[in-house]
Amino acid sequence: MTLKPALTVSRRIAEIGREGWEACAAPTGNPFMSFDFLDIVEESGCAVERTGWGPQHLSVEDADGRVAAVMPLYLKSHSQGEYIFDHAWADAYERAGGQYYPKLLSAAPFTPATGPRLLVRPGVDPVEARKILLGGGLALTERYEASGLHINFPTEDEWTWLGDQGLSMREGQQYHWNNAGYADFEAFLTALSSGRRKTIRRERRDALAEVEVFALTGADITEDHWDAFFAFYMDTGSRKWGRPYLNRLFFSLLGERMADRVLLVMARRRGRWVAGALNLIGADCLYGRNWGCLEEIPFLHFELCYYQAIDWAIQNGLARVEAGAQGQHKIARGYLPAPVRSAHFIADPRLRGPVEDFCRREREAVEGEMEWLSEEFSPFKDGEGAS
């Protein structure tokens, strides 16, 4: 199928339109690349120019004028909300007299979850489409005199291809739970060592002693639930001395437009909502996103974020749970180290070389650490659950 070599740059995803975007994104089953999610972060004012996320989405058309490939892209004036940390690069470059911002970023805003970034409609030559999209991103880097083009959390296939195109390949780690075909949560526990099995049962018993837990999705999620969850979300941000990226409107729009792809796990104590965990549902994965609480209850964080997610994934036949960024404590709960990736084009050769060297050394260190953590701290019996 012939593609037009020219790209369109859109300042809002709505300019591309739901039909065209979803023709490329829907087959991936990734909720964060859906038209609705990316439109919601723009409509709510969370990922717009004012917040340092200037949309520059790319689209390619075929000879019939239909959207054939798309790439989410943002002109960034900072590195917040990305979860691939390049602050040291920015600091070093600016101390040497360079200007690191603006930069271009392809990612799902505020979301440390792997997913496609070069989205190609089925039936379209993926290599040709990828080359056009990447070429467009590099051309915008030059046009805006940006310091570079960064693709965060791409799929492994995309990452390898981007490396073949000359981008620096970076690797980090998260902690993911994999479903080995468990019949239920008890079957998962059976795969663990006896010590970990006893600990998890005790944690669940203590966490559930004084609360009721509700796993809500679809029409069961109301504005009252979002009011409560937003209070949890803001409290977590203030306690971590962070700046919450999402506003109240975001959650209302999420409930209005994507409720069937949301799993909201809420805990109630003496008639009052006290904690909650937000997950998004993919085709084969449950993605843990945000957590918050108003009362400190022992082990409730583990229950809502990890154990309820595992239980729900088993019941609904999902292959894995990705519990978000950081947290070696997740290993003891059945979440093992897993690689996450990014690819980087640095425009200035004086910075490009050091970044390439850093990424190479970091990859070696990360891969060694993941292997060591899996071998030394896995809670599974005889290597079970490692796949």
What pLDDT score was predicted for residue 6?
86
Angle at 77 between CA 358 and CA 12, to 5 degrees: 115
What pLDDT score was predicted for residue 387?
46
148 contacts 103 by C-beta, under 8 angstroms: yes
Would the CA dihedral through 332, 335, 339, 341 be positive or negative?
negative
Where are the alpha helices (H) located in the chain, listed in sequence order? Answer: 13-16, 18-25, 35-43, 87-95, 126-143, 156-164, 185-190, 194-207, 223-239, 248-258, 300-302, 308-315, 349-377
> 180-318: what fold?
Aminopeptidase (3.40.630)
CATH 1.10.3720.10 fits 3-173+338-374, yes or no: no
Sort strands 103-106 and 74-76 into parallel, antiparallel or unpaired: antiparallel
171 contacts 337 by C-beta, under 8 angstroms: no
For the stretch 49-108, pLDDT in tens is 999 999 999 999 999 999 999 999 999 999 999 999 999 999 999 999 999 999 999 999
Q: Where are the domains of the chain?
A: 3-173+338-374, 180-318
CA distances in angstroms from 354 to 104, 216, 341, 351, 359, listed in the order given: 19, 48, 18, 6, 9
Give CA–CA dist 166/148, Å, rounded: 13
DSSP 8-class letter at 365: H
b (16+ CB within 10 A) / e for 247-286: beebbbbbbebbbebbbbbbbeeeeebbbbbbbbbbeebb
Sort strands 212-216 and 74-76 into parallel, antiparallel or unpaired: unpaired
Residues in the chain: 387
Which residues of the chain fall below pLDDT 70?
A: 237-242, 383-387
- pTM, 2 dp: 0.96
Give CA–CA dist 370/337, Å, rounded: 6
Domains 3-173+338-374 and 180-318 equal at CATH topology level: yes
Phi then psi for residue 325, to 5 deg, are -80, 150
Give CA–CA dist 360/295, Å, rounded: 44
What pLDDT score was predicted for residue 384?
55
- Residue 169's contacts (CB-CB under 8 Å, 6 or more residues apart) are 159, 162, 163, 341, 343, 359, 363
243 contacts 80 by C-beta, under 8 angstroms: yes
192 contacts 249 by C-beta, under 8 angstroms: no
DSSP string, 174-209: EEEEE--S-SSHHHHHHTB-HHHHHHHHHHHHHHTS
What pLDDT score was predicted for residue 237?
66
Q: How many CB atoms lie within 10 A of CB 210?
A: 14
What pLDDT score was predicted for residue 191?
97
Nearest to 112 by CA among 288, 246, 250, 252: 288
What pLDDT score was predicted for residue 240?
54
The three-state secondary structure class of 162 is helix
What pLDDT score was predicted for residue 385?
54
Give CA–CA dist 294/299, Å, rounded: 14
Crossing angle of helices 18-25 and 35-43, in 10° steps, is 130
What pLDDT score was predicted for residue 324?
85
What pLDDT score was predicted for residue 24?
98
CA distances in angstroms from 383 to 43, 133, 374, listed in the order given: 46, 41, 9
